[in-house]
Amino acid sequence: MLVLAPTIRIPHVDELEHRANGHELMERRAHAPIKEGFVVRMNASALLPFRFEACINVNNDRLWQVFISLTEFLPDTVCCTYGTEEPASTLPMHKMEALAGLYPHKTALSEDAALTFSLVHHDKKTMYEVTVTHTKYIRFYGRDERAFIDKMNIFRLPEFKKLEFVDEYPFVVMPGKNSPQTVVKALDKAFGM
């Protein structure tokens, strides 16, 4: 079983009693392949400027490390998005400047299910994106699939044809150590928003 963020937990059966299929969902979750690894989906649309998309489950204590490693694929100029329900997006900036703004908040960003963040580079010919979702798995859009798989091998993350994610089943969000709004305000200040 995947090590979840401390703000995400599996519900107790009695918390799903209001749902007609609560017991069934808990049984399916117990056997779901929610584990470390990744799946790759090739882009089938010529209109979208990326070659593949990957979804990555990683134990929460390694999330930031994998995120940072994946940013190596991004060009030097990126936009940073961060926030809660409606994330803010910065103007383009140097990738290292974006990472420096996120770094002081890496624990909250990695652990708090109320927060999501990403680095994005998008122009007419290419799109790269590394996003950490609310449920703390990583979505990656890129062009060099072989290099991506090599990177996943460094972290001993296996590729699967089928992999499931926390948000495909009921889950409970618990408060983090800091208010998400406090983190967002600090990021706003860091990025001049």
pLDDT, tens digit, 9 for 90 and up, residues 35-57 = 999 999 999 887 788 889 999 99
Determine the pLDDT at residue 68.
97
Q: At residue 14, what are phi and psi to the nearest 5 degrees?
A: -65, -20
pLDDT at 172 over 70: yes
Compute the radius of gyration of the chain from its Cα atoms.
17
Residue 180 counted as domain residue: yes
**So what's the pLDDT on residue 13?**
73
Residue 19 domain-assigned (yes or no): yes
| Residue 2, in any domain of the structure | no
pLDDT at 19: 65
User: Angle 146-151-152 (CA atoms, 0-180°, nearest 5)?
Assistant: 100
Average pLDDT over residues 150-168: 94
When pLDDT is averaged across residues 152-173 and rounded to a whole number, the result is: 92
**How many domains does the chain divide into?**
1
Give yes or no for residue 22 having a pLDDT over 70.
no
Specify if 156 maps to a domain.
yes
| Of the candidates 178, 126, 110, 141, the residue with the CA atom closest to the CA atom of residue 43 | 141
Residue 1, domain member (yes or no): no
Is residue 3 situated within a structural domain? no
**Domain around 162:** 8-190
Q: Examine the pLDDT at 9 and tell me if it is beyond 90.
A: no
- At 156 the pLDDT is 97
Determine the straight-line distance between the first and last CA of the chain, rounded to whole angstroms.
Answer: 39
Q: What is the mean pLDDT of the chain?
A: 91
In the chain, the amino acid numbered 184 is: V
Express each pLDDT in 92-136 by its tens digit. Answer: 999 999 999 999 999 999 999 999 999 999 888 889 999 999 999
Asked, for residue 153, whether it belongs to a domain, the answer is yes
Enter the pTM of the model: 0.91
Q: Measure the CA–CA gap between 105 and 72, rounded to whole angstroms.
A: 20
In a domain, 86, yes or no: yes
